[in-house]
Chain A
Amino acid sequence: MSVEAMPVENLFTESQLNVKNKKIQSLYRVLFLLMTLLLILPVLIILGTLIVKGGSMISIDFLFTDPVNGMTEGGVFPALLGTVFLVSLALLISVPLGIAAAIYLSEYASENWFTRAINLAIINLAGVPSIVHALFGVGAFVMFFGFGTSILAASLTLAIMTLPVVIVSTRESLQAVPHAFREACWNMGATRWQTIRRVVLPNAVSGILTGVILEVSRTTGETAPIMFTGAVFFLPFLPQGVFDQTMALSLHLFVVTTQVPNVPEQLPYAVALVLIGMVLLMNSISIAFRMYLRSKKKW
């Protein structure tokens, strides 16, 4: 083909193929947008339903009074407090343990069959269903260690359950700290621990905390692991120590929904709203905190 034969004016104009490809491209764009919208739809429906059906019951009184009249009236205070106890104690146990394990795996351990086995165990632990954790908790903490059904046994069960996630998220935050910083420290004669304490941890703390706070919200909603190990349907008094049983929001929701007769229709929705409100609050704090720490970090 000679140069003159080329229709010069058509060099940059749209061809049939261009039109077809662009149509396909916009089709996919719309498709993916719809899928994204589909994803947030359940969240909106759940929140909307809860607010419409249970919102009228929410008040300061509802949060801070005991349930009365066979749990058909009154508030959720003991359950709310119980959940706070259970979750804080669980994290008090799992967070130091998980961070220590993650530091070992990320900063000290060399790549060999032993660490590979540990990693495999962590992944498998994360995949264990929560009801199985519950049975483990009954066997280990309630019976073997003799804690009985108590806050301690329930928190330990929750701790075991959250441990793998704490380890994995901490390890990822540690590994996100550039290797060059460690090199720089080691080359100045810093020991591993000096390097970890002065450089690695301060720069990984935002990621670690984010992981921890996300675990708070997940633990808050767990029901199965606590219902055999320490949480009960109803208690006329508040727990006095870690060897007492307690009520918990998640279990309370299950109880008022399925186990108690003559419950006013709004009550379960209101309890669910408190539970989900707590989780959303935790998540928002986590996001705000992460944004704050990120704004301070530059490299």
Chain B
Amino acid sequence: MNTATAEQINENSSHYAIQAKKLNLWYGSFQALFDIDLDIKSGIITSLIGPSGCGKSTFLRSINRINERLGYVRIEGGINVHNQNIYADDVELIQVRKQIGMVFQRPNPLPTTIKENVLFGHKLHMKDKSYSSADHDEIVEDSLRQVLLWDKVKDKLNHKAISLSLEEQQKLCIARLLPVKPNVLLMDEPCSALDPKGTAAVEELIWELRGEYTILMVTHNMAQARRASDECIFMLMGKVVEHQKTGDLFVVPNCKETADYIEGRYG
């Protein structure tokens, strides 16, 4: 990993992309998150690790407010994204979802063509009329180039998205977020359905997107967190245990729980 560049990016970004302030979250009567205070820097890749049930996915999902769809979720505290509280009353949920893209464990391309998948979000959020089909083609090419998929699919843009391999589908799912220019990309174990080759390819892509987007990635795979993130957050039982530069967290962890976890003593 190129830590020098990572530091440069940190210094250049004067502000934090995501700031959680005393975030508490309950599923019914079960408390899943306890007083989460986190400052996640803009433009870098931050990974979230911890054993199953530690709340890392819950935290990720509260950043684009998809948890509340469950109906029985209660939240106290707040999350600022670029200094605006996304839980404020005057926040439009649709804008939140547009600005904060989400990538899931299982690639979930829509049952349509590759091209339409890329344009889907764009067509949702932009006035259709002001774009010609040449504009659309440009957007498609641009987005697919950014996810390193263009060369593979440029001749079959009208094929079904489902005909792609899982790795390509996952890249497509990332590509379709880009045309609406989100600030933050949330990734919930983006490689867990992929084989090692696919994982490497998607990690390479995530690394490419670094700088332009703030990326927060949940992962079960400690090796992945180590090789593919700038900073790393370790969570346990709904609390943040440690948040450090990835290199430091894996080499000189501050807490015993972190040390035990990364050494594989539990989890």
Contact = CB atoms under 8 A, between A and B. Distances in A.
A268 B219 CA distance: 74
A298 interface: yes
B254 interface: no
A21 to B, nearest CB: 42
Contacts, number: 55
Interface stretch (B38-46, B103-111, B146-154): B103-111
Given A188-B176, A189-B95, A194 B111 contact: no
Nearest to A198: B120
A143 B134 CA distance: 60
B98 A181 contact: no
Given A180-B108, A181-B110, A181-B111, A188 B160 contact: no
B97 interface: yes
A297 interface: yes
Contacts of A199: 110-112
Contacts of A189: 93-98, 121, 124-125, 180
A186 B69 contact: yes
Given A181-B111, A185-B110, A189-B124, A298 B162 contact: yes
A203 interface: yes
Contacts of B69: 186
Interface residues of A, number: 18
B252 interface: no
Contacts of A198: 120
Given A186-B66, A186-B69, A191 B94 contact: yes
Given A187-B102, A188-B176, A298 B108 contact: no
A183 interface: yes
Contacts of B214: none
A187 to B, nearest CB: 5
Given A298-B160, A298-B162, A188 B108 contact: no
A184 B104 CA distance: 9
B177 interface: yes
Contacts of A145: none
Interface string B71-95: 0000000000000000000000111
A108 interface: no
- Most chain B CB inside 10 Å of its own CB: which residue of A183, A184, A299: A184
A184 B108 contact: yes
Interface in B105-134: 106, 108-112, 120-121, 124-125
A188 B180 CA distance: 9
A183 B102 CA distance: 11
A177 to B, nearest CB: 8
A185 B125 CA distance: 12
Nearest to B117: A184
Contacts of B160: 298
B47 interface: no
B71 to A, nearest CB: 8
B64 interface: yes
Contact of A299 (B162, B173, B177): B162
Interface string B10-37: 0000000000000000000000000000
A132 interface: no
Contact of B110 (A184, A191, A297): A184
14 contacts: A180-B106, A185-B110, A187-B66, A187-B97, A188-B97, A188-B121, A188-B124, A188-B176, A188-B180, A189-B97, A189-B121, A189-B180, A298-B162, A299-B111
Interface of B: 64, 66, 69, 93-98, 101-102, 104, 106, 108-112, 120-121, 124-125, 160, 162-163, 173, 176-177, 180
Given A183-B104, A185-B120, 4 more contacts: A181-B111, A188-B101, A194-B124, A299-B162
